[in-house]
Chain A
Amino acid sequence: MSQQLVQLIVSGLAVGAVYALVGLAFILVNEATGVVNFATGQFVMVGCFVAVTTVVQMQLPLAAAYPLALTAMAFFGAIFYAIVFRPLQDRAVVTVIIGTVMIGIVIQNASLITWGSVPFRPRSPFGRQVVDVFGAAISAHALFVIAVAFLMIGLLYVLIYRTSVGARMRAVAQDRDAARLMGIGVDRMFVLTWVIAGLLTGTAGILVGPMWFADVNMGDPIALKAFAAIIIGGFSSVPGAILGGVLVGLAEMLGAAYVSSTYKDGIVFLIMILFLLVRPQGIFGERIGERA
């Protein structure tokens, strides 16, 4: 394998792992609540900037800074549920979607006021260390991103499919009223869903900061690619989000290197459109109509 290909694949996997994490946050909220959270990109941005606060501004050691940032993001998810989703949850879906779009704009401008417009560069646990992988110079942080993202995805999988809490979350996702009749605390499951979404996006934000810098406009482009990833992988599928994320990441890198850097994003979105036309349920997903 050529040095260039290794470089591109690792970069693509790192980018794709981030898209997969963010895609999972989309899926989790959508499955549990039936709503696409269009403020997901802003969740990533806030996660990144909370880490800026703990790492750069408070100068805490990373062992304390990261857990503190993640705790803050868990609260952020819960607060978002309480002040945005809960008051709107019985409204028409379009109302909730518009609500998430609007609150996303509010979050972005509040972040601009709070952290300013100048980007930050939070440090990585590995500094700027570069490792040799089959002759290619690879940033240690990129490997860390891949490892942590897949660890988080694994933990989420265990939580959802191997624990009683996960079974209750799935029950609420399948039929909210039936779950309530079975004695499941639906509201608690909602809170938990938003807390996990906060943790996933917070992790993505913490991971991308040292790689891509932190700036208040970083959220939407990441969310857009993650959205493409879950359309390709399947809107209701955890493996689909992972595969979709990795495919989008690799398509970006390999497309830029071997096809055209000018049409790199066009390639990704063309693939997404092809899926929408030919296989709208994505690789692993089910048709929306089949769920009804």
Chain B
Amino acid sequence: MGKKRTMTRRTVLAGLAAGAGVTIYAPRLSAQAGEIAVGAMVPITGPFNVSGQQYHFSLQMAQDEINAKGGVAGKKLKIVFEDVKDSNSVAVNAYLKVVRDLNPPFVFLSSYTTQNLATEPEVVKAQIPGMYAGGGDAMHAKKNPWLFRIRPYDGLQALALARHATEGLGKKKIGILYVQNDFGQPGALAAEKIVKAAGAAVVGLEAYAFTDNDMSAQLQKLKNAGADCLIAISYGKDGALILKLAKEMALNLPIVISSGVMVPAARNLIAPDELAGIYGVMDAHLGPERGAAVADYVKRFKDRFKIDPDPFGSCYYDGAMILKQVLDKVGPDRAKIRDALKAVKGYEGVTNTFTTDADGNMVHSLAVFSIKPGTRDPVFLRTIGA
């Protein structure tokens, strides 16, 4: 028999002290002389990491490329990454830490609306310009003059989905399936309005939870309601599950689906025949037909990170390049950066053309794709703008 271990009050206290020490000790962020340090709130770990990884990689690549070409405003650009996980409180604390330690001229915010909504009041207090990629319309409704969105807002996506289902495919009885959160629900309601305005009927609105693994009941219900086309507002994995189930259940309905499932990581989960009859909207198309600059970006990204870039993360690459232009022009002055970002017009990035509107939205169109039969390759169909 081995010696039985006992826990004394001293060992408990020592353990608590060690645990507290580890928790409390977090190295202060800092920037060196000759650097301009900006913050980046990235979901590096946790469930949001699927898109967070692309965001992280895109900014790493942008930072290195900018510094290889002389940096910004004569200094080296340092992007300080803080993990915001999948928690609003972690996101707020990460933002406060970056502001306290770095006092940066600029901060990239999360790619998730819930985290950005939680952080937004701190941005108002700190008066630090920032860019973000979460699509929720609730963000631009805040009218925060310090924040700029670098991908299409969700209302625009709902417009594209509804317009393609009605005007594009000519369907008259639309069923809408959506993820039940602040992305899916407003999107579904916005799509419903647009479908009705186009003279078509919405035969059903069905929701599922983000963590659900089986949406067959909702799909069956929409089919039974007489839908001749489905609009699905989903993220990546759940969207892939919807398409897999639709095929298994032999729904045989065209499905117009939101951008999450069109990224390579999600598309690769779906068999080519499960993608037949599927139309997707995407923030941007990174195909070779977009030109040499986009093709070169994709190649550089893939060479470095061994995965395909997706538009959700790549918009941060564009954001960093816009920031470089602004910093080169006005230096690290927050108000001047904000004013320069407000004045962005017609910037051609790898994902989109960026022009800032009164709400701080910089992107104003989405692309609609079908899938090349027998493959997972998207085929560009049309652009739908606001």
Contact = CB atoms under 8 A, between A and B. Distances in A.
A211 B248 CA distance: 11
B113 interface: no
Given A119-B237, A130-B250, A262 B269 contact: no
A222 B214 CA distance: 12
Interface centre among A120, A221, A262 (most CB of B within 10 A): A262
Contacts of A217: 46-47
Interface in A1-36: 4, 7-8, 11, 15
Contacts of A130: 248, 250
A4 B265 CA distance: 32
Contacts of B127: none
A163 interface: no
Interface string B199-233: 00000001111011110111011001000000000
Interface string A122-155: 0000001010000001010000000000000000
A264 interface: yes
A261 B248 contact: no
Contact of B221 (A120, A221, A261): A261
A161 B209 CA distance: 39
B220 A257 contact: yes
B218 A15 contact: no
Interface string B70-95: 00000000000000000000000000
B353 interface: no
A265 B209 CA distance: 8
B265 to A, nearest CB: 4
Contacts of A59: none
A253 interface: yes
Contact of A4 (B45, B49, B213, B224): B224
Contact of B213 (A15, A87, A118): A15
Given A119-B265, A261-B206, A4 B220 contact: yes
The 5 lowest CB-CB distance pairs between A and B, nearest first, are A221-B211, A256-B217, A212-B213, A257-B217, A117-B49
Interface of B: 4-5, 7, 45-47, 49-50, 52-53, 180, 206-209, 211-214, 216-218, 220-221, 224, 236-237, 240-241, 247-250, 265-266, 269, 271, 307
Given A128-B247, A257-B220, A264-B209, 15 more contacts: A7-B216, A7-B249, A11-B217, A15-B213, A90-B4, A91-B7, A116-B53, A119-B237, A221-B211, A221-B213, A257-B217, A257-B218, A257-B221, A262-B180, A264-B212
Interface of A: 4, 7-8, 11, 15, 87, 90-91, 109, 112, 116-121, 128, 130, 137, 139, 208, 211-213, 215, 217-218, 220-222, 252-254, 256-257, 261-262, 264-265
